[in-house]
Structure 1
Amino acid sequence: MFKKKFHTLIKRFLAGTLCLGLLASQPAVAYATEANVSVTPEAAHSTTYSQAADTDSVKGWPSGPCIEGQSAVLMDAVTDTILYSKNADDKLYPASITKIMTALLACENLKMSDTITMSQEAAYGIEAGSSTIYAETDEVFTVEQALMALMLESANEMALALAEKTSGSVKKFVELMNQRAAQLGCKNTHFNNPNGLPDETHYTTASDMMKIAKAAWYNPLFRKFVTTQTYEIPPTNKQSETRYLLNHHKMMAGQSYAYDGVLGGKTGYTNDAGNTLVTYAKRGNSILIAVVLNSTNGAFPDTTSLFDYGFDNFEKVDLNVDSDPVPTKFLPSEKYLLKNNGNTYPFYYMRHVYVTVPTGTDVSTLTRKQWLLNNSIGPKRIKSKYYFHDHMVGYGMQYEKEILSDLLLNTSF
């Protein structure tokens, strides 16, 4: 009992010390904590600052900004157009943006009203000084409260608790994280914990993290947690005081790097990972996602530069191809056309096919590639991708005509 109380006192003392450390630009030790996200404008530029964006090689594409981050991707969340890419496949440490995957899996598998009872392993399974809301063994929270603590205060013990609640153990949850990453098409990602604390076998890329960030954004429950600025956890069975949570993403409204249109996101920091950041922003009809990894002098200015570049130089355009039939020459064989009473029915586009292109682009100059997705179950489909000088800027799907009335009434890209 004495050891437990002593551990708790040490934990709270170090946490208090960490809070005072908010005024410092760099931490003394490496933890997945949001308090350490720092910006030092006077510092020398990173070694990759002047490196040209990979997307600069696309003919006619606007030149991307110089950023401090070693790796970054900016993408339109609707069309999947990569607006900016720099070292997108470099394997790097994600730090606490790992928690986007943790939150997504919890949203996909748990009820928000269910309760979580903190185990000894979850409450005290994190390093001293790590981001925490000081949850105690046997303390009871709802899943919603745990997720708010995870995404706003980056509470590492809540990552462990949610992992145990979802899969029965942290080990099994990590297996689920890697399975889900593979499902999303991640090729260079391996998770080894649910919170992003330092681990040589825990890494991702900006490209893979973008896939995870997009999938999470399209989960309505996840959006609630990533866009919330403040939240209160009332007294619990172990804590007599209300906990006040604050989102540490400084580009949200009212914060020090507030940016018009930013909806939310997730920050991260360790000594080895540097500053990492995932941010969602919307202006007009465009929703952009920015991922920045290993930004030595702060990821908020980097993300500001990326969003300025994206919103100022590109536009999302509706191709207006509703009910536009596919020419027969693009189909692999007549046998794939629907026939009824002697009549042949072509495939048709789903309504609203969007592309994201440099502002002022004549979309008639885009090229299109198509191929048949001949599933054994369900309707046959043709997928179309649109290209600006070989750079993908949007996509659409076509189905057999007879199912359009049922399928497309409430569907849009």
Structure 2
Amino acid sequence: MTIGFASRAAVSTCALCTTGLLVLAPAAAAADPGPPASLLFRPGTHVHPRPGAPEVPDLSARAWLVADARTGEVLAAHDAHRKLAPASTLKTLFAITVLPILPAGIQHRVTAEELADIGPGSSLVGVAEDRTYRVSDLWNGVFLSSGNDAVRVLAALSGGWRATAQRMQAKARALGARDTRVKSPDGYDAPGQVSSAYDLAVFGRAGLRNPEFARYCIREETRFPSPNGGFYRIVNTNRLLTGADGVEPYRGLVGIKNGYTSNAGNTLVAAARRDGQTLVATVLNPRSDDGLAVYEEARALLDWGFEAGGRVEPVGSLDALRAGLLRGPEAGSAAVPAARRDEPDRAVSWTIAGAALLGGVGTAVFLRLRWGPVPKD
């Protein structure tokens, strides 16, 4: 029997190492997607403990989720499909969409136009016009410094700002992330831009399957080209990884991405590996006055997930809403009404998906013919 908690008070009563380790085998398409997806659409906290299971931590976040990254099984969640501003955690979707089509060794001289329209107050890595960068430099700027300037240039290289947002939207739909609406690929606050704890976990899990993504998101520090020649040091802003500002580094952490905007509050997608198991956790907008609470609440979720392994029944699956996997009660009660409300979007997104696939493949072939194989960064 699944226990659904409608209030946080009730919760307390039940309460990259090496790249090879980070690349997770995709779940089989024919696998059972688990309990009905509709459960996670219900408000409150959901967990299905067996005897002896630890209590779920009492968190202040508006939404959170913890799942097994290999199987996609959701171990526990709170308001998993609540639509909230994602801040820079949306860069996980940007990365899984754009990384496959831009070889890391491409060198590009940045233009003023590519740096135009960066939102005021954006996090920046320091990309300068008329300076030449490798694509791998720009990705370091995205993953470590959350640089919206680096995102702008990478988006320009991959077809432009609007086209990149459309490809990201199509990618999200293909992965079954149906809560996400992409308006600004860097995660900067924009009217109508939302995601959810569920969707961000989907993106983080997909990212870990890409060796390049896995290498970037585990990197604690590196050098970044300075405008006047030479390099300067940049450090990952994910304090759960680096231990900055008094946050204790999390043992076994393998990334992934943190974020903050005034609208979204603090957000985090985190993944950790212990004893052969990889967990992914998302924490959105803790209501604690402590600005570092997002890291401590993610720590509590990951600790609980590792301790609860084998002692809880899954309450959902990160694969449940992927194309071709909808069936049974969830097809009628949860996903179909949402799809009907978005029917005009659906026709557009499938068109975009087809165009993005053809365009992405063509771009990748062209770039590899021109610049050769992707070097190791």
**TM-score where L is the length of structure 1:** 0.62
Letter in 1 for 2:82: D
Does the 8 Å contact 2:204/2:256 carry over to 1? no
1:290 corresponds to 2:259: no
How much does 1:201 deviate? Answer: 1.5
Letter in 2 for 1:310: G
Letter in 2 for 1:86: H
Take 2:178 and 2:253, find their aligned partners in 1: how far apart are those partners? 28
Change in 2 beyond 3 A, CA 1:90/1:63: same
How much does 1:208 deviate? Answer: 1.1
Q: Which stretch shifts more, 106-115 or 131-140?
A: 131-140
How much does 1:119 deviate? Answer: 2.8
1:257 corresponds to 2:257: no
1:24 maps to what in 2? none
Q: Deviations over 1:60-90 (max 9, x none)?
A: 5643111111101101111212112000010
Residues 304-319 of structure 1 aligned to structure 2 (within 5 Å): 304-314=299-309
1:54 maps to what in 2? 45
Does the 8 Å contact 1:122/1:158 carry over to 2? no
2:86 maps to what in 1? 94
2:204 maps to what in 1? 213
- The match for 2:161 among 164, 170, 190 is 170
Take 1:146 and 1:231, find their aligned partners in 2: how far apart are those partners? 12
Does the 8 Å contact 1:116/1:161 carry over to 2? no
Does the 8 Å contact 1:253/1:262 carry over to 2? no
Q: Which stretch shifts more, 244-253 or 270-279?
A: 244-253
Residues 34-49 of structure 1 aligned to structure 2 (within 5 Å): none
Residues paired across the two proteins, number: 273
How much does 1:165 deviate? Answer: 0.7
How much does 1:253 deviate? Answer: 4.8
Q: Which stretch shifts more, 296-305 or 90-99?
A: 296-305
- The match for 1:299 among 275, 294, 306 is 294
Partner of 1:268, secondary structure, is strand
1:179 corresponds to 2:170: yes
1:358 maps to what in 2? 311
Does the 8 Å contact 1:213/1:278 carry over to 2? yes
Q: Deviations over 1:83-111 (max 9, x none)?
A: 12000010000000111111222221110
Partner of 2:185, secondary structure, is coil
Q: Which stretch shifts more, 68-77 or 51-60?
A: 51-60
1:73 maps to what in 2? 65
Letter in 1 for 2:282: V
Take 2:91 and 2:121, find their aligned partners in 1: how far apart are those partners? 18
Unaligned runs of 5+ in 2: 1-6, 12-43, 314-323, 325-377
1:202 corresponds to 2:155: no
1:248 corresponds to 2:237: yes
How much does 1:51 deviate? Answer: 5.9
Bigger helix fraction: 2
Take 1:78 and 1:201, find their aligned partners in 2: how far apart are those partners? 32
Letter in 1 for 2:135: V
2:148 maps to what in 1? 156
Does the 8 Å contact 2:87/2:267 carry over to 1? yes
1:230 corresponds to 2:225: no
Q: Which stretch shifts more, 61-70 or 104-113?
A: 61-70
**CA-based RMSD:** 2.5
How much does 1:122 deviate? Answer: 2.9
Q: Which has the higher contact order (CA 8 A, sep 6+)?
A: 2
Q: Deviations over 1:272-291 (max 9, x none)?
A: 10110011101101100111
Residues 6-45 of structure 1 aligned to structure 2 (within 5 Å): none
Take 2:105 and 2:164, find their aligned partners in 1: how far apart are those partners? 20
Q: Deviations over 1:241-262 (max 9, x none)?
A: 4121100111115442311111
Does the 8 Å contact 1:102/1:195 carry over to 2? yes
1:118 maps to what in 2? 110
Letter in 1 for 2:208: W
Q: Deviations over 1:209-237 (max 9, x none)?
A: 111111111111100110000010244xx
Which segments of structure 1 move beyond 4 Å, counting only runs of 4 or more? 57-62
How much does 1:58 deviate? Answer: 5.6
Take 1:309 and 1:185, find their aligned partners in 2: how far apart are those partners? 26
1:134 corresponds to 2:106: no
Take 1:208 and 1:58, find their aligned partners in 2: how far apart are those partners? 24
Change in 2 beyond 3 A, CA 1:156/1:241: same
Q: Deviations over 1:332-377 (max 9, x none)?
A: xxxxxxxxxxxxxxxxxxxxxxxxx218x9xxxxxxxxxxxxx9xx
Partner of 1:89, secondary structure, is coil
Partner of 1:198, secondary structure, is coil
Take 2:126 and 2:278, find their aligned partners in 1: how far apart are those partners? 35
Q: Deviations over 1:27-76 (max 9, x none)?
A: xxxxxxxxxxxxxxxxxxxxx75463632356656431111111011011
2:23 maps to what in 1? none
Does the 8 Å contact 2:220/2:236 carry over to 1? yes
Does the 8 Å contact 1:257/1:300 carry over to 2? no
Does the 8 Å contact 2:54/2:307 carry over to 1? no
Does the 8 Å contact 1:275/1:296 carry over to 2? no
Take 1:239 and 1:265, find their aligned partners in 2: how far apart are those partners? 31
1:193 corresponds to 2:180: no
Unaligned runs of 5+ in 1: 1-47, 315-356, 362-374, 376-413
Take 2:221 and 2:67, find their aligned partners in 1: how far apart are those partners? 27
Letter in 2 for 1:126: I
Bigger strand fraction: 1
How much does 1:154 deviate? Answer: 0.5
Does the 8 Å contact 2:91/2:185 carry over to 1? yes
Does the 8 Å contact 1:51/1:66 carry over to 2? no
Partner of 1:302, secondary structure, is helix
Letter in 1 for 2:201: M
